[in-house]
Each structure stands twice: as C-alpha cells, then as structure tokens.
Amino acid sequence: MNNRTLWEIAHSWTVCDSTVNSTDSILSWVRERNRTVSVDIHKNALSDSSFWFYDEETGTIHNKNNSFFSIAGFKKQMDEYHTLQQPILLQEEIGFLGILCKMIDGVMHFLMQAKIEPGNINKIQLSPTIQATKSNFTQKHVGARPPYLEYFENASRYEIVVDQIQSEQSSRFYKKRNRNILLRVEEDIPVLSSHKWMTLGQIKHLMQTDNLVNMDTRTVLSCIPYCRLTMTDEEKKALAAKCTDMTLFHSVFDAADDHSLSECYHYINDYKMFSLSPGKLIRLDELEGWSMQDDRIFCQTPYPYQVIFCDIAIEGREVKQWTQPLFEANGIASFGLLCVNDHGILKFLVRAVPEPGCFDGIELGPTVQQEAVSLPGHTETVIDRFFADRLQQQKGIIFDHLLSEEGGRFYHEQNRNILIQADISELPELPKGYFLMTYRTLNELVQINNTLNIQLRNLLSLLEV
C-alpha cells in the first residue's frame, strides 16, 4: 500500500463536497431512484415459499439449494442464573464488501452504489461498490453477476488499501464474517446509473441523514489504516489546517502508543480462557420459551427480535423476485460512543463485549450497546448511567441519528447511533472491561481481524475530522 494513497484518502476526509457529484445532486439522485424503482415487499408465511422450508431432520430453516444462509437454534449459559436461547443466522460463506477509489480532479473519490436491500426501511441506501455474498457472485441464485465483481476477484492487479475479514452482528449471526476490501484503481471505470463517485468527506457528511449510508459502507471505511500513514511536518501542518477538530486530528495522526493495550488484552484473554460455556447450536423446535408459527418465530417473553418470512420483488436486482426469512427487531437499540478529551487528545471509551455468535467469543465494542429489549443477565453499569444522564441533559452530543442495520437479513432495523463528548475529569471510575483508547490505537486494532465489533467500527466511521 502506497503512503501517498493514505495521504490522499486522509485529505479526502476533509473534502465535504465534490466537483464530480455535488452533495445536493447525490441527494436528488437518491430521491429520484426511490421514486422510480419498483419495490414490493410484504410478509407472508413460510409455507407460501417454494424455496425455503423447515427441515424436520435438522431442525433448521434453509432453502432447497442449501445456499445463502440458514436459521438454527442457539443456547448459551450466560452465568449461573441466566441461559440465553434464541434463533440465530448461520452463514459460513464470506462475502465481498468492496469499494473502489480513484483520484478525480485532484481528490480521492469512492464509487458508491444506490442499493436496495429487502429489509431496508427506506428503499435505497448508499452502499459499497459491490456488496455480495459468495452465493451471489458464484450465481447459485441463477441471477446476473454483480457489476464490478471482476475488480475484486482480481484485487492483486490493483493497489489494496484495505483487505480485512471482519465480524458482523454477533447477537444475530453465528460466527459470521465478511471481507472488507478497498482498492485504488487508476484506469477509467464505466459508471453505471446505480453508482456515483463521492469524496470521503461527502460520505461522512451524508451519514448525518438518517438511514442513508448503509452499515456495509460504514464498516469498510472504518478499516482504512490511517495508522500506517507517515507525514512530514509540512504535510501534517497542511492536513491540520483543513481540519476542524484538532483533538480528533491528534488522536488519529499524532497519538503515541497506548498503555491500556496490555490491560485490555489481559482482560480479553482471561475471558477467552475462563468464561462459561461457548454456547451450542440446537434445533429450532428445542428452543424453550419460543413459538414456531407458519408466519413467524417469536419469544413468549419480550426479546430483541423475531423471525418473519417475506415475499420480495425489487427492480434492478440480480434476481427480481424471491422469498426469504428476515429478522425483525422489536424496538430501536442504542449504540453509543463516549469521546473523551484527554488533555487535547480525543480518546474513546470502549468495552469488551461478549456476544452469543461472536467468532472469538468477545470483541471490543462501544461504550453503550443496548438492545431495545435487554438480554438475560444484562446489568446496568455506572458508565451506562453516566452516558444516559448526558444524553438526557443533551450535553456534549456531537452525533445522534438513526442508522440502519444490514437490510439483506434484518427487516426495517434501525438503531440509534450516538457520539457524546466529555472531559476526562468528568468520568466516573471505570469498571472492569472498559478501556480509554485513542483513535490510532483502535485503528491499529481494526487491522487485526475480529478485534473490534461492528457496532464500534460503525460508530468510529461517523467521525468528521
């Protein structure tokens, strides 16, 4: 990876509009496509599908090709008093979340897609250049190949900026991961009507519009390795002059080694070594407290989600009509990140979070990661209360918007993403499992697969320098 490329991406972060496609024109483009693209999604029953079915032999829901994904039961002993049982998504294949970038008019631009996923709450969202499961790009659905796939299949021909296998929502997926990849290209690329070039600053600014920039875009952008960028004093001054938040600038580009890393790894390694049961897959009909009906699978007591079945028709997709299960959230979750000014350097309060389907059991998550309905064994901490108090008082809020989760598997799921700033002197004593880290340290850690969870990665992607 070329150091100059990282410099140009960092510069693009500071450019909030484009001579190629203005922000206003992008918003108009999205509105027009929403108006003209035909979408018909409605709930139905599992028995209405000729492709998906409940397999009495395995106790899972899957399709006739055993492709895409399936749904099984999952059981885990959370502590000596609480057992978690729930349906969980099984998707062993690793898909592409890929973005192409290119210098245009002296600024790095990113090729973004106006894409409709079946579970999207608002039809179109700004997605990566390509967003495809292995079943998609191997054409198990007998549909067309996703456009621009050839760039990512032949990634070694281009400059690879990001190539990471990262986790997905571990509360709903079982050990699910996707390949986050960002390629720099030099050649002319034909731009389809479904795609447009945008600066990084534009994309960041568009994240302030509820449910516009999708989860997959956010996770790819969170992996950009600014920690590998080296700058001369003159380059650093030039970049700093374009930034409005110097505490964040210092956190990204100046911060020294973080002494909390050893403590953090010790905590995580203790969890991996001494935690209780890792959990196991079970039959859906063995889930205690859950009801399986033809039109849904639901918990008899309040729970964060249920499973529904949908009939879907979307114009312009590789396949135009299909049926599938989707996970439907019960309420809106809150994901919050506390941004702490520590003597002129912004640090982020993160928490080691074990989750049911986590590939490695535990990852670093945001300060607050709270479902609308609490899971068994959840206890509120002093940090949860501190964050909630500042939010209620509207104190230090720098970002507060609804953003969607992955619309290919989740139905109309939008969650509240919150960034709150505080001074280090205001913090209560940190409980075990919480760590203050600079952006640079977290950026180093995200280069290691399965270390930062998707909620934390998504929140970090929202920051505007």
Instruction: Check which CATH number belongs to the domain holding 446 and give it.
Output: 3.90.79.40
321 within some domain: no
Q: Are residues 215 and 265 in the same domain?
A: no
Q: Are residues 204 and 271 in the same domain?
A: no
pTM (global) more than 0.85: yes
| Nearest partner of 181 among 213, 146, 156, judged by Cα | 156
Cβ neighbours of 160 (radius 10 Å):
14
Q: Are residues 227 and 350 in the same domain?
A: no
Which residues span the domain enclosing 207? 3-39+92-244
Q: Give me the torsion for CA of 30, 15, 335, 79, rounded to 10°.
A: 120
347 with 463: CB under 8 angstroms?
no
Q: Are residues 196 and 265 in the same domain?
A: no
> DSSP code of 145?
P
- Rounded Cα distance, 192 and 212, in Å: 20
Please state, in angstroms and as integers, the Cα–Cα distance from residue 260 to each residue in 69, 225, 256, 399, 429, following that order: 38, 20, 12, 26, 15
Backbone angles phi, psi at 108, to 5 degrees: -70, 130
Structure tokens at 331: 């309420």
The residues facing 399 across adjacent strands are: 419
Q: Are residues 20 and 126 in the same domain?
A: yes
Q: Where are the alpha helices (DSSP H) in 65-185?
A: 134-137, 149-153
Q: Are residues 349 and 218 in the same domain?
A: no
434 within some domain: yes
Q: Is 431 exposed, middle or buried (0-12, 13-18, 19+ CB in 10 A)?
A: exposed
Residues near 148 by beta carbon (within 8 Å), at least 6 away in sequence: 98, 100, 111, 129, 130, 189, 195
- Rounded Cα distance, 450 and 68, in Å: 22
Amino acid of residue 333: A
307 within some domain: no
299 within some domain: no
Backbone angles phi, psi at 274, to 5 degrees: -115, 0
Amino acid of residue 390: R
- Rounded Cα distance, 77 and 79, in Å: 6
Number of domains in the chain: 2
Q: What is the largest CA-CA distance in the chain?
A: 67
Tens-digit pLDDT string for the chain (465 aa): 799 999 999 999 999 999 999 999 999 999 999 999 888 999 999 999 999 999 999 999 999 999 899 999 999 988 778 899 999 999 988 999 999 999 999 999 999 999 999 999 999 999 999 998 876 666 555 567 899 999 999 999 999 999 999 999 999 999 999 999 999 999 999 999 999 999 999 999 999 999 999 999 999 999 999 999 999 999 999 999 999 999 999 999 987 767 789 999 999 999 989 886 779 999 999 999 999 999 999 999 999 999 999 999 988 776 779 999 999 999 999 999 999 999 999 999 999 999 999 998 999 999 999 999 988 778 899 999 999 999 999 999 999 999 999 999 999 999 999 999 999 999 999 999 999 999 999 999 999 988 999 999 999 999 999
340 with 349: CB under 8 angstroms?
yes
Q: Are residues 111 and 165 in the same domain?
A: yes
